[in-house]
Structure formats: C-alpha cells, structure tokens
C-alpha cells in the first residue's frame, strides 16, 4: 500500500485517467457519432433512469461513488452525475453494440490483447453482471451491493478487478474494466452528456474544456490555467 495521503493519490489517479480516457470521452463519447449524440440531452432536473431498473440504478450509483469518491480536492462520480451519463449511454448506438463488432465466435477466455470477446452488448453486459454481483453479495453478505458498508463495497470492487469473484454470467474482470472505463468517461465528459456536472472535474484538474484557443498554455507546463472551463454548449464556470 502507498503511504501517500488519500487526496494526493486521488488527484494522481484522476490525472492519469485523463490521459487514458480517449479524446471522445473528454468531450463526450458521442461526439464522433451522430447516432449516439441524437438521444443524449443534458438536463438540470432530477434524473429518472431510462434503461436501468431501480435495483440496477442503486448498484450503479453505489459503485461509481466508490470508484471516484468525493473529497477536499473535488466532487466524486456520484455528485458529478456519472450514473446518469452511463444510463444515457445505454440508450445510444454504443449501448446497443452498434459501434462494436458483435459477430461470433465469442471467446471469453481470450487474452485482453484480442479485444472484447463477449456476446453481450454494453447494456446487456451491465444487466447480466449487476444481477450476478448482487446475487453473489446476497450469498456472501445477505444483502445486495448497494446496501453494503462503504468499506465492504470497496472490497467487492477490488475482488471484481482481480477476478477473485466468479460470476456465472460474465468474467468479473471484464465487467469491472467496463464499469471503470465508463465511470472515467462520464466523470470527464462534457456536461451536455449527463456527467461532469458544473464541470467539476475540469475545474479540479485545470482543463479548459471546449475553449476555442488555449494552445499557448500547452507550452507552459506547471502553470495554472487562469480562465475557467467552458462546455460545448457554451456554459462557463
């Protein structure tokens, strides 16, 4: 375990995540696909999930809250609307597998270098995996994932990441990787896609967002960008 303070670890994790998340994730993964962006609209009102059932929604909120928790550095995934972002994704071409190659043969045991090898579309993957994880939690702890204490949720997520929980429906590591990737995308996406409310993550790391010109600041490492971020819709902090 690292001896660094939790806040420092979190900031480093999020900065590294920004490098890992594809550019389409920063300005919304739908920005390169008209089919995906057509069904996504940002709203400030209370959100009602379109795809996930009530138990699935509780799981998703509880999971993203532990993957990127809030602290003194900035908002967490839950406050940033990451669960909303993922739910909206499930109703797009991405969620339906329209942007993936979904023909067989399917080889779940294939090495990660060969890419995604399951028969599930993203939305099917979430549905099958969430039910399986909740079922496992009921057997082990007599309650579903969302009802567990925070420390126990962390432990379950760690076990999923390491493949230590065997799920009948899907390999646990593949589900965890999908969940983590979508969580990071929603945390850093443009607010118009449902996540990154009030551009909280951009403010925290000093990302300018969709400003027309900030190229000169890219050549000044270590200097804090002096102007707040702006969204694709033109919203400013």
Does the pTM exceed 0.95? no
How far is Cα 173 from Cα 69, in angstroms, rounded to an integer?
21
Mean pLDDT, contiguous 10-residue spans, the chain (237 residues): 50 53 41 35 67 97 96 91 96 91 81 82 96 97 97 97 92 94 95 92 87 78 82 82
pLDDT at 34: 36
How far is Cα 125 from Cα 229, in angstroms, rounded to an integer?
34
**What are the tens digits of pLDDT across the range 6-63?**
545 555 555 555 554 443 344 344 433 333 333 333 334 589 999 999 999 999 999 9
**What are the tens digits of pLDDT across the range 184-195?**
999 999 999 999
Using the structure block, give the residue that is written with the tokens 């920063």: 26
- Check: CB of residue 71 under 8 Å from CB of residue 104: no
What are the phi and psi torsion angles at 74 (to 5°)?
170, -175
Using the structure block, give the residue that is written with the tokens 């990451």: 82
pLDDT at 102: 82
Tell me the domain boundaries of the chain.
20-219
How far is Cα 80 from Cα 196, in angstroms, rounded to an integer?
5
- Check: CB of residue 74 under 8 Å from CB of residue 201: yes
């Amino acid at each position: 375990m690292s001896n660094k303070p939790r806040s420092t670890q979190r900031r480093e994790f999020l900065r590294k995540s920004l490098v890992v998340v594809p550019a389409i994730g920063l300005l919304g993964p739908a920005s390169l696909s008209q089919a995906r962006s057509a069904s996504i609209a940002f709203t400030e009102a209370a959100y009602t999930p379109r795809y996930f059932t009530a138990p699935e929604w509780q799981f998703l909120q509880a999971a993203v809250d532990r993957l990127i928790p809030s602290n003194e550095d900035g908002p967490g995934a839950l406050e940033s609307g990451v669960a909303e972002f993922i739910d909206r994704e499930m109703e797009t071409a991405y969620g339906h597998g329209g942007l993936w190659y979904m023909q067989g043969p399917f080889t779940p045991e294939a090495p990660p270098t060969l890419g995604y090898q399951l028969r599930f579309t993203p939305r099917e993957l979430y549905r099958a995996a969430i039910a399986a994880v909740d079922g496992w939690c009921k057997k082990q702890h007599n309650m579903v994932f969302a009802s567990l204490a925070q420390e126990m949720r962390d432990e379950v997520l760690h076990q999923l990441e390491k493949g230590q929980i065997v799920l009948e429906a899907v390999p646990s590591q593949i589900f965890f990787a999908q969940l983590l990737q979508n969580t990071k995308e929603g945390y850093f996406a443009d607010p118009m896609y449902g996540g990154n409310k009030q551009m909280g993550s951009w403010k925290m790391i000093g990302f300018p967002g969709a400003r027309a010109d900030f190229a000169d600041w890219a050549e000044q490492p270590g200097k804090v960008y002096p102007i707040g971020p702006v969204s694709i819709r033109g919203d400013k902090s």
